Structure 1
Amino acid sequence: MAPPPLLIDICICTFRRDVLADALASVAKLDVPHRARLRVIVADNDVKPSARARVHTMAESFPHELLYIHAPARNISIARNACLEAGRGDFLAFIDDDETVTRPWLRHLLDVALATGADAVLGPVRAVYGPDAPGWMRHADSHSTFPVWVKGEIRTGYTCNVLLKASSPLVEGRRFVLSFGRSGGEDTDFFMRLHEAGGKIAYAPKAWVEEVVPENRARFSWLAKRRFRTGQTHGRLLADRSAAGQRLAHVGLASLKAGYCFAVASALCPFPTLRNPSILRGTMHVGVTAGLLGLREIHQYGRVSPAAEHGNAA
């Protein structure tokens, strides 16, 4: 007898974004892996079920089962956990609501997962810039996302392009921490804890998803804020895993790294293509210092600008 098909749940958390329709449309066109069946879960993190009507309308002609979950409110960890709890597949994939997947995306993730037996497989995110994006930003590719290797292994990850092995005892029952759900970094923490527990994180370099960079994100100020927050998360996690003396040593090292980056940026002042990435890296190390010292974290999720009341979240 032929083995039963694999069930793969594709999870998308959303908060007041019209581009969710584009994400779902790209999933509808996916090349379905051999012997696989797909189910799509949309977790709406808004206080009101603002995405329900859109999802239900698309479900009428959607080629796969499409499940809507209302998972309030304004804390991304709540929505991510709702996806984990609703998932019943052999694998769970996560993408963001402002991304579109390439047709072979899921097939490449699954091939690596089956070949390696990894608990999680990450894929790359390609930033797509508009015509008004600064040249230095395009050259540095400042918004694309790739995994980071440390001594030949991936020690943490992200949820903007990942496939989880649901049957893994290191994945089953694991949840995103709610205290990171407003500041961001909940995925960094999730995958760091997975790795520390012995989980294997692999990489599928051909499993591309794409993210259009909106005008309000194609700015140095937005990138600086995001880099600072990323550093803060790393610093906070480092502080939780270090004794008092070690924390002071980490503060000193991060401060030295920040100073070096800013000094390099000063020397490269006439060349924005080289200067700005160095400033952003220094800003990240300043964030690490802030996280180690316990400074209050910036809230990235759940904020709504006046324009976003009828469109995108801030």
Structure 2
Amino acid sequence: MSTDKAQAMAPAISVVVLSYDRVHLLERTLTTCLRPETSDGVPFEIVVVDNHPDRLAEGLIARLAATTDVPLTYLGDPRRNVSIVRNIGIHAARGRYVAFIDDDEAPDPHWLSELYACLERTGADAAFGPKHPVFESGTAPTWDPQGWRYTLDYQEPADAPIHLFGRLRKKGKGLGSGNAAFRVATCFNTAEPFSVAFGDGNGEDTHLLFRLALSGKRFVWCPSAMVR
């Protein structure tokens, strides 16, 4: 497919990635997202929002954009507030769904197509997948031999509903926007989906999820959409 055709095709889902100073890890994230088996033919785009004043990721994005037909957009904002850059990514996204993946995460095969299929199948407003750690030493630390501190896995069946009140935290683990996909029309239909009041001290994810839950939005678990 030519770049012109890829640009003309409206993406079904937009992947938004935030970056500050982990460009070496961001490259791993993006190159695995761009592998064909990650999306399985689902039309998608990637929007990278760089939060570093020196625009550290700009060169990487330009290099990768020259090697792929997947639309790859680079944006930057130096203000140190995660909600600001999340909102910038959302407003730039063209897909009817937005998926977030952190810049230190790499998706398993079929990650994006599984999130997309889950939302299409269930009609839910948001879907969440598990996050498992990879340790540089090859093994978890002795003080946490199972790697529990770094793992988020509810071990629920596919499409299981997540009832936020009483289930936001399961065994001490809270949901967030990392490895999650949202329906834009129902979740991001305001000027400021993530409140900037929380963006410089964390808590913006929890605030958004509670606000969505209070308005009756449905969340589901997608165990096949794994990141590491």
Q: TM-score range by the shorter chain?
A: 0.7 to 0.9
1-structure distance, mates of 2:153, 2:79: 29
Contact 1:122 1:147 in 2 (8 A): no
Of 88, 108, 114, which aligns to 1:108?
114
Of 101, 112, 126, which aligns to 1:95?
101
How is 1:45-84 mapped onto 2 (pairs within 5 angstroms)?
A: 45-84=51-90
Answer 1 or 2: which has greater helix percent: 1
2-structure distance, mates of 1:5, 1:49: 27
Task: Report the secondary structure of 2:220's partner residue.
Answer: strand
2-structure distance, mates of 1:205, 1:187: 20
Q: Structure 2 stretches of 5 or more lacking a match?
A: 1-8, 169-174
Amino acid at match of 1:204: C
How far the C-alpha of 1:6 sits from its partner, in A, is 5.3
Q: What's the TM-score, normalizing by structure 1?
A: 0.60
2-structure distance, mates of 1:107, 1:113: 10
**Relative contact order higher in (CA < 8 Å, ≥ 6 apart):** 2
Task: Report the secondary structure of 1:135's partner residue.
Answer: coil
Contact 1:15 1:46 in 2 (8 A): yes
Task: Report the secondary structure of 1:121's partner residue.
Answer: strand
How big is the alpha-carbon RMSD for the aligned residues of Structure 1 and Structure 2? 2.3
1-structure distance, mates of 2:223, 2:162: 16
Contact 1:75 1:178 in 2 (8 A): yes
Q: What's the TM-score, normalizing by structure 2?
A: 0.81
Change (3 A) 1:138 1:8: same
1:204 aligns with 2:195: no
2-structure distance, mates of 1:106, 1:71: 26
How far the C-alpha of 1:62 sits from its partner, in A, is 2.5
1-structure distance, mates of 2:101, 2:132: 13
Find the structure with the greater CA-based Rg: 1
How is 1:1-314 mapped onto 2 (pairs within 5 angstroms)?
A: 7-18=12-23, 19-31=25-37, 32-34=39-41, 36-131=42-137, 133-146=140-153, 153-155=163-165, 156=168, 157-168=175-186, 170-173=187-190, 175-210=193-228
Task: Report the secondary structure of 1:126's partner residue.
Answer: coil
2-structure distance, mates of 1:192, 1:148: 22
Change (3 A) 1:203 1:30: farther
Amino acid at match of 1:138: P
How far the C-alpha of 1:114 sits from its partner, in A, is 1.2
1-structure distance, mates of 2:46, 2:109: 15
Task: Report the secondary structure of 1:180's partner residue.
Answer: coil
- Provide Cα deviations, 1:171-195, integer angstroms capped at 9, x if missing partner: 3225111122122121111111111
Task: Report the secondary structure of 2:149's partner residue.
Answer: coil
Equivalent residue, structure 2, for 1:302: none
How far the C-alpha of 1:154 sits from its partner, in A, is 3.3
How far the C-alpha of 1:130 sits from its partner, in A, is 3.0
1-structure distance, mates of 2:81, 2:62: 23
Task: Report the secondary structure of 2:181's partner residue.
Answer: strand
Q: Structure 1 stretches of 5 or more lacking a match?
A: 211-314
Task: Report the secondary structure of 1:39's partner residue.
Answer: strand
Amino acid at match of 1:153: H
Contact 1:59 1:65 in 2 (8 A): yes
Task: Report the secondary structure of 1:134's partner residue.
Answer: coil
Equivalent residue, structure 1, for 2:3: none
Task: Report the secondary structure of 2:49's partner residue.
Answer: strand
User: % of aligned pairs identical?
Assistant: 27
2-structure distance, mates of 1:147, 1:68: 33
2-structure distance, mates of 1:117, 1:84: 20
Task: Report the secondary structure of 1:111's partner residue.
Answer: helix
